[in-house]
């Protein structure tokens, strides 16, 4: 029987690459995104084993509705990739409470709520499920101009470790991935923001990212998706 996977923030970037990788492995895939039209468009390319739905990971009711949609479409979920995330960029002393709250509401609270719903779903259905959370290189080393984003992603790592230790006895595995500089629409926005803040060119920012990457190139979403599928 095919496993069923839900990917939040699945309409583009890492989430879409993850969804496609799971689909290529023969899984049923629910692409859940705040942009419903984009989620449905991405799912159409997957045929009968794909479906798209709306989700706002800041809202527990929205998450539960997405899980119900998935279960009605394909049956109980086996894997959840909690990938939805946002970023913004400012110097630490210029950050507003709104900047801080927005990053934490999506990146940290969104993972917390999605994971909580997922674990309850696994327990209710007696499934030894897998959760993979998207953190960041910025969850390992604090990133200048991204202090609030880094803090939210550090929270994802700590939460993932604690949740994994609590529910290992139930056969539920919880891991997170910490991507580096990944070539996505989010990164393109960040390059523009950083170039403006540092008063340099887009290419100078891009080259600084590459210089910090041992492979000597930007990561691709597919690089990350391969790890996500492995962890599932």
Q: So which residues are the catalytic ones?
A: 149
Cα–Cα distances in Å, from 91 out to 94, 97, 101?
5, 13, 16
Nearest C-alpha neighbor of 171 from the set 225, 135, 133, 125: 125
- How many whole angstroms separate alpha carbon 126 and alpha carbon 109? 25
């Amino acid at each position: 029987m095919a496993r069923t996977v839900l990917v939040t923030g699945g309409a583009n970037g890492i989430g879409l690459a993850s969804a496609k990788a799971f689909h290529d492995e023969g899984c049923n895939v629910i692409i859940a995104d705040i942009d419903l039209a984009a989620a449905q468009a991405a799912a159409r390319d997957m045929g009968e084993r794909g479906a798209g739905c709306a989700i706002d990971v800041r809202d527990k009711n929205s998450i539960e509705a997405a899980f119900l949609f998935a279960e009605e479409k394909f049956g109980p979920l086996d894997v959840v990739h909690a990938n939805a995330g946002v970023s913004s960029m400012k110097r630490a002393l210029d950050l507003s409470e709104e900047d801080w709250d927005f990053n934490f509401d999506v990146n940290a609270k969104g993972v917390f709520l999605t994971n909580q719903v997922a674990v309850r779903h696994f327990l209710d259905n007696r499934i030894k499920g897998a959760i993979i959370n998207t953190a960041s290189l910025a969850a390992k080393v604090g990133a200048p101009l991204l202090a609030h984003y880094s803090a939210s992603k550090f929270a994802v790592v700590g939460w993932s470790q604690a949740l994994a230790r609590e529910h290992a006895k139930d056969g539920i595995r919880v891991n997170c991935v910490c991507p580096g500089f990944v070539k996505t629409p989010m990164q393109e926005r960040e390059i523009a923001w950083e170039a403006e803040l540092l008063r340099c060119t887009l290419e100078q920012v891009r080259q600084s990212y590459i210089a910090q990457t041992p492979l000597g190139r930007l990561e691709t979403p597919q690089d990350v998706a391969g790890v996500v599928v492995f962890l599932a």
